[in-house]
Structure 1
């Protein structure tokens, strides 16, 4: 059985862990918020874009296609690059997409922003699982994951009446500006404070099996990344759940949100 390092940790170690859980939690709130917020802002957006409400169905649905694809890609990325940086870079992209939605003057511009949001929020859950595995003992990972899932519920709640009240007194555009700014702030804060492994801060690994092997060069990691992506794409049974998602999940959420 692998030996788990039990040495007492300095206070800075715990501060970094708390920061990681907090920042990832906020980003997970934003992810859940972005999934369901079109149901609240659809009427106002349709009026601003001068289109019929049902046209916003495309806006709502086009979050999930890039989100699904880039969850797979991000799962590969966090294995070969620092997961904190992966989540941060994509988080900034999601924030830019949210702000673009706020500035958009027509449906096409809004859809482009929506696609960026879908891409940018994809690595949050996958990256968080990788980070938790590196920073927490194995018996603590389910607790950290449960805390993250609680933030998912919070995001769904905020995308309901709180968002409706905010839009009533302000506007749907300011809602997108705000969520974009919050996402960018916590993405950057996480990158400033933490890295994906305790060893990169000079701490001993939390789990013996999480010790990194020999570091590969950036070129080797990129090559291996594409090799793994090709293995997934050519695996025939992979396309069964993909087909299910494409033909069921998105139309369902599209119908229920609008």
Structure 2
């Protein structure tokens, strides 16, 4: 049973993306849950462990196998079943664990296109939640390119690759941040008058950046992304598009 659950934002996996409050939370936690996503993604586990080492935590580390989503199911059903299974695996991994706060390291930001909070709602009894934000993937992207997120007095739309593919360019928007895009959905857009700032492994020694007119750099980004994913076994990237 989890009484206190702490969600610690870790940005894009760099120890420097964790705030001082986040580091202190990792030191104060009694147990830390780490997902294992298979041997091909051992780097993800190693990055989390490097953050724990930098924090100097003495918490007990419990790992759990991360489930796969069923691609045969409709999207909403697929995600709901996946979240149910993750919650069950959290509980199973904590069987016999010492009492005290349980911490989870969350990529990006716990409140932005991340489902950790929704998964936590499935736990019974529901734990007391504490969220410690870190650097978001969007902050890491704009900082890496040394650009502002918006134009003067301009709005910004944040969406997913799936929605960009299904609905196209959001009507009336001038700046669009795209996350969770494993299909390079920008290739489905008319590149006329679009500029892209793309980044992968942001803030890490493996960081890759590309920027330019979409018509000029789209092919390079697709190729670079595929090569990097094959080399590392995983990739986390995001990008900003602007008219």
| Band of TM-score, shorter chain | under 0.3
Larger relative contact order, structure 1 or 2 (CA cutoff 8 Å, min sep 6): 1
Larger Rg: 1
With the length of structure 2 as denominator, give the TM-score of the two structures: 0.24
Structure with greater proportional helix content: 1
